[in-house]
Every structure is written in C-alpha cells, then in structure tokens.
C-alpha cells in the first residue's frame, strides 16, 4: 500500500495529490482573475493595479524574491505613481478654483496644470509655463 500511495503522489496523472503537487511547482497560475500570488496565497490586487504591475513585498518595501522564505507579513502592492514632472496633468484646468496657486520655479506635482486660452495649450512643463507667463504679461503690456 505504501508503494501505491507514493506512486500516486508523485504521478501528475494519478489521483490524490499528484495534480496538486505538479501545480505547486509554479503556483502563480492558480490564482483567479483579480488576484495575484504573494507568499503562499492568492491575494486581491490593489486598486488600479494589474497582474503585471503587482509586486509582493516585505513591510520595508523590498521584494519577496526568495520563494522558500517565510514572509507572513508580505503584501501585494503596486509601484506608486509619482505624478507628472511639473504639474498634475490629469487635473488640468483653465480656472483654478482655489484662486491663485503658486507653482514656484520648479512647479508642484500636486497642483493642476494650467490650460492657457485653448484646450490644447496645457502648460505642463517648466518652459511652457514660463513662456505662457511671459506671453500673458507681454499681452497685458501691449493692451
């Protein structure tokens, strides 16, 4: 009976745990849609995260790469979106409802980009912003 039990466990076509053992060799494909494999289990993908961008990380942010290592505190995370370089282009507006907004010389990734005169004129870089500022002052001086 022992020989038959061992044979069925090691056989991928046998009954019992043979199929599961073959799947354990690469368990990443076992997770249902909307989940990813992280430390011996399938976890829900974080919002706005895809299977290709999800990372299983330790609490200190280092990736869980040694799959034989215990890591019960590991979690799924997505790399944070760092924003645009000069301003938040997704919130571009021709009217900033907070009133005057200071961008400084280098801009602010958390402030919305300014739309100048036309929808396609989004001042989303430093040179566009300062060129637009100079243009508005020049236009005001000419009038």
Query: How far is it, in rounded angstroms, from Cα 62 to Cα 30?
Result: 24
User: What is the predicted pLDDT for the residue at 67?
Assistant: 72
Residue 76: strand pairing partners? 56
User: What is the predicted pLDDT for the residue at 55?
Assistant: 86
Tell me the pTM.
0.40
User: What is the predicted pLDDT for the residue at 137?
Assistant: 94
Which stretches in the chain have pLDDT values below 50?
12-24
Query: How far is it, in rounded angstroms, from Cα 53 to Cα 66?
Result: 19
Contact indicator for 104, 125 with CB cutoff of 8 Å = no
User: What is the predicted pLDDT for the residue at 48?
Assistant: 73
Query: How far is it, in rounded angstroms, from Cα 92 to Cα 119?
Result: 9
């Amino acid at each position: 009976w022992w020989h038959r039990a061992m044979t069925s466990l090691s056989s991928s076509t046998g009954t019992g745990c043979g199929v599961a053992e073959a799947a354990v060799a690469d368990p990443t494909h076992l997770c249902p849609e909307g989940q990813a494999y992280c430390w011996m289990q399938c976890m829900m993908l974080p919002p706005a995260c895809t299977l290709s961008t999800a990372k299983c990380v330790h609490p200190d942010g280092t990736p869980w790469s040694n799959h034989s290592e215990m890591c019960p505190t590991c979690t799924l995370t997505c790399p944070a979106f760092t924003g645009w370089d000069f301003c938040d282009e997704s919130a571009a507006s021709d009217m900033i409802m907070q009133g005057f907004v200071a961008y400084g010389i280098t801009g602010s990734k958390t402030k919305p980009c300014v739309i100048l005169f036309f929808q396609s004129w989004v001042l989303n870089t430093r040179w566009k912003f300062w060129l637009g500022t100079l243009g508005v002052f020049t236009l005001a001086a000419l009038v």
